[in-house]
Amino acid sequence: MNMKEKSLSTLEYHKVLELLAAECQTEPAKARALALRPFGTIPECERAQQQTADAVYLMGLYGSPGLSGVKDVDDPVKRAEMGGTLNMPELLRIMALLRAARSVRHYLENQKGEKTSIDAYFSSLNGNKYLEDRIAESILNEEEMADSASSKLYDIRRQIRQSSSKIRDVLNRIVTSASYAKMLQDSIVTQRGGRFVVPVKAEYKGSFGGLVHDVSSSGATLFIEPTAVVELNNTLRVLYASERDEIDRILAEMSAEVASFGPSIRGDYQTLCDIDYIFACGRMAYRLKCLRPRLVENGQTRLIRARHPLLDQDRAVPIDFSIGGASDTVIITGPNTGGKTVSLKTLGLLTLMAQSGLQIPAGEGSQVAICRAVLADIGDEQSIEQSLSTFSSHMSNIVSILEEAGEGTLVLMDELGAGTDPVEGAALAIAIIERLRQMGARVAATTHYAELKMYALETKGVENASCEFDVSTLMPTYRLIFGVPGKSNAFAISERLGIDRSIIEAAASKVDSQNKQFEEVIAKLEEKRQALESRLAQAEKDMREARAINEEAKRHRSDLEREREKFLMDAKLKANEILGQARRTADSVIDEAREMRQKAKDGGDVNLAAARAAFRGELSKAEKEVAAQRNEKKAMPLPRDLRPGDVVEIAKTGTKGTVLELSGDNVTIQAGILKITAKKKELSLLENEKAPEQKIKAQKRGSSEPAATISSSVDVRGMSAEEAIMEVDMFIDHAQRYHLETVTIIHGKGTGVLRAAIQNQMKHDPRVKSCRSGVYGEGETGVTVVTLRK
């Protein structure tokens, strides 16, 4: 095994391929997955990456294409092309393939988005509806052909049924006849050798005429074909032979049709296997929560929030890792079991995955530089059979690495120089790194040696990185910190594991003073780094909260403006309605006046004055209503609770003032030199005129402030049913407040108890319009999707 292949095994690349193969549904796709190797050029890598990305995109829109039932048809098709006759299971396998090809061909028929790099695979599928239907209509299952496969077969089977019925009628008369009752062992009709017989007692062999076809194990019963049905049975046997001949003819005919479409069928099979492989890459990316990395030729590999693909993705601690650019070498230090080796493997394995066209479990912005080879010496490969010690096995690997390393290679070395004299081991490690750098390789190595830490501090292009260790808990955090060398913390870990304190103190006193000072400097640097990181995290949190409060205030102002516009519009509509009514009333009175004037000409003006008075009364009433509407000013709904210092306006009078105190529903206001008491519902809050020092705060619910935005999902995994229902109830309150229409409750699959409790609660919640379990791409039965009432 050469070093490249050995490194793939060392980094457990084959286990990633096994995960990929498990996502495949066809055998050729599985074989392709297990044989996958990294590509050597960016165009090859980008082509495979684009196909994977397009598969992920299409699965999000339409789910995975259905490939169930697709099995290898190469051998049956070849045999048919050579003139052979296929059996029913083989023909059914071909039918399943043709059905899948037709179904998958229409997978993108409703595609409305942009074209993808894998569209051509779908459009190249041929299918064959004629042959698919021919087989489906002719073969019922792997052992039975349909009567309708041919008119001749239908006629033969009709005759078989008629002959069988005649034979049974004759035999039934025999077994029910009183004259035969004493001769029969049982009053039944059965079959032996494909011929109808009846069970006769052995002692009546000579008395019961017919042919003996079988004898019971005890010899007491003979299975005799009565003479009366021998000819009928002969006819039936001939019909059965005709049936077999016709079935063979039909199978041969369909086999010939398969042969005529052979190239098309084989082409569809290969295309379906290609589609299966591409979507398997997409499904693995979805399952491992992967993203597409940016690929570069000679730049920096920069992994952001990267996770080892073989670890539990929900529990793995993400790391950031950079190599290349200003620093072509990284020296990783820190405690044992602190994550040094996992960090090294993560870098190597994610590089291999990216170059194989697979997405990687890392965050947005991750970038991978294409490598000519990834060479790794990781783990203790001590061999008793080969008489190799730990040091010797490592050096044996290093020899192979030095032979293959060069420009464009990534070299990963775990515990470089370990297993021998520390002074010599450290010197040898530095010399090896120097040689690899001279050869143009990028190097990432782990070590406990202080000499390598100093080498990284003093050498341009070499950077220290450390696995973080929490001194308060004496436990590793598994985070990788760049720019600072790490401590091995052997004393702290030993004491935590139970080594006597006096032994620890004795060991500490024997440490070289210069080395001790160096370790103390590292410890102080780490303390300062953690303090600065904590302050930075707090500052970022404060900034996010400030932004949230600002967004909340903007929303409140926007809501207030909308309410004002609505009130003004309602007022205008009402005023127009009153004026319209007044005009209609005036028109009516004028019409009546004209009518009365006409009557006055004929008979006097007795009622004219009364009409004029009524007219003036109606106009006066309308004018008062319009004036009242114009002067009416309603209080705006308060966007939040009032506080002392708020500037408000009394709606009825237009008086503005400052809130002094609140008592229940009553508010005391300072308006100039006057103190006024008013009801809250009579007041409008003038936020633009509030005191400069006043700050807008988000409304509170319980003890925690809601963010300016609310997530559309809530995670209740691990809770009891009661806890989960309470959490979901509060979440739906928030969702309705922010006008969310659809939300997702993440409860996990488990035993289904939590899902059932939540869905039952949702079905009886008046705020809920409908609820359902998730589909593929949403979380399936691990989530419940809820539509809320508006």
Angle between helix 27-34 and helix 262-287 axes, rounded to 10 deg: 50
Segment of 119-133, 165-179, 306-320 carrying the highest mean pLDDT: 119-133
pLDDT at 384: 37
Segment of 370-374, 391-395, 679-683 carrying the highest mean pLDDT: 370-374
**For residue range 331-373, what is the model confidence (pLDDT) as tens digits?**
998 777 667 889 999 999 999 999 999 999 999 999 999 999 9
The alpha carbons of the chain give a radius of gyration, in whole angstroms, of 44
Q: Which of 95-99, 737-741, 760-764 has the lowest mean pLDDT?
A: 737-741
pLDDT above 90 coverage of the chain, percent: 37
pLDDT band for position 66 (cuts 50, 70, 90): confident
pTM of the predicted structure, to 2 decimals? 0.61
Mean pLDDT of 173-191: 82
Q: Are 468 and 319 in contact (CB under 8 A)?
A: no
Which runs of consecutive H residues, i.e. helices, occur in 439-512? 450-458, 490-496, 501-509
Reduced to 3 states (helix: H, G, I; strand: E, B; else coil), residue 720 is: coil
What is each CA distance from 299 to 368, 369, 697, in whole angstroms? Answer: 8, 6, 47
| Residue 563 CA from chain centroid, whole number | 41
Pairing mode, strands 683-685 and 195-201: unpaired
Side by side, the strands of the sheet bearing 190-192 are 190-192, 195-201, 221-226, 210-215
Question: What are 493's two structure tokens?
Answer: 């870990």
pLDDT at 518: 54
Taking the C-alpha atoms of residue 404 and residue 400, their distance in angstroms, rounded to an integer, is 7
pLDDT at 246: 95
pLDDT band for position 383 (cuts 50, 70, 90): very low
pLDDT at 703: 36
pLDDT at 387: 39
pLDDT at 633: 54
pLDDT at 547: 83
Taking the C-alpha atoms of residue 758 and residue 755, their distance in angstroms, rounded to an integer, is 5
| Cα-Cα end-to-end distance for the chain | 66
Q: Greatest CA span in the chain, whole angstroms?
A: 142
What is each CA distance from 287 to 17, 283, 361, in whole angstroms? Answer: 14, 6, 10
Whether residue 754 has pLDDT greater than 50:
yes
CB atoms within 10 A of CB 179: 7
Whether residue 693 has pLDDT greater than 70:
no
What is each CA distance from 160 to 35, 163, 170, 233, 757, in whole angstroms? Answer: 55, 5, 16, 10, 59
How much helix, strand and coil, in percent to the nearest 5, is found in the chain? 50, 15, 30
- 566 against 147, higher pLDDT: 147
**For residue range 147-175, what is the model confidence (pLDDT) as tens digits?**
999 999 999 999 999 988 888 888 888 88
- 380 against 777, higher pLDDT: 777
- 239 against 176, higher pLDDT: 239
Helix (H) or strand (E) holding 47: helix 42-62
pLDDT above 70 coverage of the chain, percent: 81
Whether residue 628 has pLDDT greater than 60:
no
CB atoms within 10 A of CB 676: 15
Whether residue 195 has pLDDT greater than 70:
yes
What residues contact residue 109 under an 8 Å CB cut-off, 6+ apart? none
Mean pLDDT of 48-64: 92
pLDDT band for position 277 (cuts 50, 70, 90): very high
Taking the C-alpha atoms of residue 462 and residue 436, their distance in angstroms, rounded to an integer, is 12
One-letter identity of residue 309: P
pLDDT at 684: 81
pLDDT at 315: 82
